[in-house]
Amino acid sequence: MQLKRFTNWCICVALLLSGMASSCQKDATDSEIARQQAVVKADSAIAKSSPGNYLALSGTLIIRVQDSTYKFDAATDSIAFVNMNVGDDKYFGVTAINKDHTMSFGLSSKGMAATDVTRGIEGSQLILRPDAMHTQQYSLTRFTETGDAGNIKLTDYRRDTVLAKGSFFTFLAKDDKEGSPFYRVEGKFDLKIKK
């Protein structure tokens, strides 16, 4: 059980790092052409390390937790759809970090991404840092039972201009202690790879 949670944690960290790496590429661009070139370059770098990873050129990722809604916009923030291999297992997910690096999100599921597929959540994390002195972190708790962590539903994947479109829900806690309250987190994404 500990190994499975560690693997899930590693996947979420990898998803967040992919988003952070691609965000640095976006910060350096001013014009639309330069931004598109940076996206292609970031996609190439990500693809070399793990094929099948793509940085969204446009689109949004919206997350709702408790009474708050958080939005990532690929026009300014970095949102990536990633596919990974960990040993013999395959995972896919969404990762995002905003331009100011004050908010990041990662979500992963076991299996292969495809249109009209629904899979259980394997790992997720939302980090909010409104200022240098405060950080709030929501993570998938290790105290959920298998199959009780929510799911991700892809309604469209890698077709025409669509990178990935779908919705998800999961349950995240502010700490990983038994009996800690956890919160239902819902979201949707509509990501484009071309305009």
15-24, 84-93, 160-169, 170-179, range with greatest mean pLDDT:
160-169
- Extents of the domains making up the chain: 2-192
pLDDT at 63 over 60: yes
Is the model more confident about 4 or about 147? Answer: 147
β-pairing, 150-159 vs 162-173, is antiparallel
State the pLDDT confidence band at 91, using cuts at 50, 70 and 90: very high
Q: Supply the pLDDT for residue 115.
A: 96
Written as six digits, the tokens of 157 are 């994947």
Residue from 105, 154, 108 nearest 7 by CA? 108
Residue 83: in which H helix or E strand, if any?
Answer: strand 78-86
Q: Supply the pLDDT for residue 27.
A: 46
Distance, CA of 84 to CA of 86 (rounded, Å): 6
Least confident of 8-22, 106-120, 134-148: 8-22
pLDDT at 43 over 50: no
Is the model more confident about 122 or about 39? Answer: 122
pTM to 2 decimal places: 0.74
pLDDT at 111 over 80: yes
Residue from 137, 125, 31, 24 nearest 78 by CA? 24
